[in-house]
Structure 1
Amino acid sequence: MELIRGIHNIKPWHQGCVLSIGNFDGVHLGHQAVLRGLVEQARRLGVPACVMVFEPQPQELFAGHDAPPRLTRLREKYAQLARLGIDRLLCVRFTAGFAAQSPDDFIRGLLVDKLGVRFLVVGDDFRFGRNRGGDFRLLTQAGRAFDFEVVSTRSWRMENRRVSSTLIRKALAEDRLDDAARMLGRPFSLCGRVAHGAKLGRTIGFPTANVALKRRVIPVAGVYAVELKLGKQRYPGVANIGHKPTVNGTKALLEVHLFDFSGEIYGEQVEVELCHKLRNEQKFASFALLKEQIQRDAASARKWFGLAVSEPNGM
């Protein structure tokens, strides 16, 4: 799948496509249903299937740290869209200037002149342009004027509930990992590169892989039984997601202790699937008490995976 970073990188040969615009946060089952339809339409018309997303997401620009936590970063979103057969991902830098352009400039300048849209799929609540003046009705009128069809994404229901990123965030916040996985079509996971940390875990026999999350807000927190995916290999372990209050941490971290593992994975890009929540994050009165709790957490996670409970061998 081709990644086009920024409107300035749209080339003349990118003219002609079917397009869907949105955050696609999580690329959940509702998104997947829409995007499979988009790909089918692209194949019928003989043009590429293109998805437009914004970085940062609009709410992140306008609400800052009060914006909803992301389910997926751009890298993860790219991988999920590629699996669905999308041909091009256009990532538009979302700035105050871009948001302030007129709706007509967005339609004519971007959709028509640069992309040559033949078929457009958006939510019927999609708003764009200065003062959010552009809407589905305006797009439909533009479609008639510039000869492209506009259709609305339909609510995709599961067990009589609408599948949405908001509902998935709510399920994660309430520790309903199975519900979140059903709506996503896969277990919820966090991705990042393994970085060097303070290595405090080594001093108590629990070395950890510190995964750089690079997110403003994390949608989950606490201690989990997890599986770390590295290439085609999967390794069970226990993870803490949070701010490490016992050692006065301030930045959200993902720390994973892998069971019976002795390899070197610094610098590797990994995916960590959350399998089962063990407890909420808490502050302990001493490092010794924290060590005792970590031992209990590791034992609980081993039991959940059906592994023998034993002292960890290191990493």
Structure 2
Amino acid sequence: MFYWRDLADVPDGFGPSVLTIGNFDGVHRGHQVVLEQLVSAASERNAAAVVISFDPHPAQVHRPDSAPELIMGLQDRTETLGDTGIDALLMMHYTLELAALTPEEFVRSVLVEGLRAKAVVIGHDVRFGRANSGDLSTMQSLGEQLGFDVIVIDDYGSSLRTSTTAAGERRCSSTWVREALEAGDVSTATRILGRPHRMRGEVVHGAARGRALGFPTANLASASTGYVPADGVYAGWLIDSSQVRWPAAISVGSNPTFDGLSRQVEAHVIDRPLEEIDVFDLYGQTVVVEFVRRLRGMVAYRGPEALVEQMRLDVDQTRKVLSTEQRAYG
């Protein structure tokens, strides 16, 4: 996949292309439906499948005090988009100057002159250009004027049952993913995303309480990317810089047993003796933590002994959950 951070990086003569535009935060199953249709339409037209996205998120520029927390960081968004089969990704730096372009200026300079668009894949609710003044009819009019097709996706995404018991369905969306993570419901987040939610960050030194209790942890730096789910203990995976996947019990919270104040994400690798893997060897590495299932909420225990007993139970339950997942997904 070609990856460009600026329109000027696109090689002269690139194209023709079939493209779509969006933030694609989470690259959830709804996004994946759009991208599948993009790749199919590009193949039919013997053109390159191109995604135009933005960094930072437009909301972080226009309303930084109320912008939603991002589901995934830039590296994970880029890699996940690349896994969908697209040919190129233009990750445009979003600025007020870019936002000031009229719909025609944006389409003409980026889509037509920059990427030689043969077709554009969009939904009925598309908005683009200065003050979001461009809509579907605007794009269709510009397509007729500038010589590209507009492929409208009737259901811009995919829907899922809201729960295993509820009869109603809800359209997959980044908002729904955030709601699920805010509630600690990483199982629902997995259903919407089509894969476990993940965070990525550098392993840093913590208070070393886990090691003293016999449960050493890899602590993620506060600058880690990815939406932090609700406080609690989760079964999941730690993926090290060599792409080795380790089963892990993951704690999110402020360590209330020890009157902690700041929220931390820390992963205890299970079923590996310290002589084989010492998690402190991970210091300085950038690792990925994947959340599979929430085991319990965060609780303050009456002293270290009670906490250790609960941590043993957490490890046992983590082992069972991940064993079941491996049998289900191979």
Q: Assess if the C-alpha contact under 8 Å between 1:103 and 1:133 holds in 2.
A: yes
Which of 286, 289, 301 is 2:303 aligned to? Answer: 289
The equivalent of 2:214 in structure 1 is: 205
The equivalent of 2:233 in structure 1 is: 223
Q: Assess if the C-alpha contact under 8 Å between 1:100 and 1:130 holds in 2.
A: yes
Flag structure 2 segments of 5+ consecutive residues without an equivalent. Answer: 162-168, 322-330
Q: Assess if the C-alpha contact under 8 Å between 1:39 and 1:86 holds in 2.
A: yes
Q: Which amino acid aligns with 2:237?
A: E
Give the total of aligned pairs: 303
Q: Assess if the C-alpha contact under 8 Å between 1:2 and 1:88 holds in 2.
A: yes
Q: Assess if the C-alpha contact under 8 Å between 1:226 and 1:237 holds in 2.
A: yes
The equivalent of 2:251 in structure 1 is: 240
Instruction: Give the share of equivalent positions with the same residue, in percent.
Output: 34
Normalising by structure 1, what TM-score? 0.85
Matches within 5 A, 1:47-66: 47-66=47-66
Q: Assess if the C-alpha contact under 8 Å between 1:238 and 1:298 holds in 2.
A: no
Give me the whole-angstrom Cα distance separating, in 2, the residues matched to 1:5 and 1:169: 27
Which of 297, 310, 325 is 1:280 aligned to? Answer: 297
Matches within 5 A, 1:94-173: 94-153=94-153, 154-155=155-156, 156-159=158-161, 160-173=169-182
Taking a change above 3 Å as real, the CA distance of residues 279 and 11 of structure 1, as seen in their structure-2 partners, is same
The equivalent of 2:71 in structure 1 is: 71
Taking a change above 3 Å as real, the CA distance of residues 238 and 294 of structure 1, as seen in their structure-2 partners, is farther
Report the aligned-residue RMSD.
2.6
| 3-state SS, counterpart of residue 306 of structure 1 | helix
The equivalent of 2:285 in structure 1 is: 268
CA deviation profile, 1:48-103 (whole Å, cap 9, x unmatched): 11111111111222232522222221211122222211111111111122112222
Flag structure 1 segments of 5+ consecutive residues without an equivalent. Answer: 308-315
1:257 aligns with 2:268: yes
Matches within 5 A, 1:296-307: 296-306=310-320
1:187 aligns with 2:196: yes
How much does 1:290 deviate?
Answer: 6.2
Give me the whole-angstrom Cα distance separating, in 2, the residues matched to 1:134 and 1:256: 46
How much does 1:243 deviate?
Answer: 4.9
CA deviation profile, 1:248-275 (whole Å, cap 9, x unmatched): 544x532111124332223434322212
Q: Assess if the C-alpha contact under 8 Å between 1:16 and 1:48 holds in 2.
A: yes
Normalising by structure 2, what TM-score? 0.81
How much does 1:291 deviate?
Answer: 7.1
Give me the whole-angstrom Cα distance separating, in 2, the residues matched to 1:244 and 1:55: 34
CA deviation profile, 1:144-174 (whole Å, cap 9, x unmatched): 1111111233242234321111122222223
Taking a change above 3 Å as real, the CA distance of residues 239 and 50 of structure 1, as seen in their structure-2 partners, is same
Give me the whole-angstrom Cα distance separating, in 1, the residues matched to 2:236 and 2:229: 16
The equivalent of 2:93 in structure 1 is: 93
Give me the whole-angstrom Cα distance separating, in 2, the residues matched to 1:193 and 1:60: 24
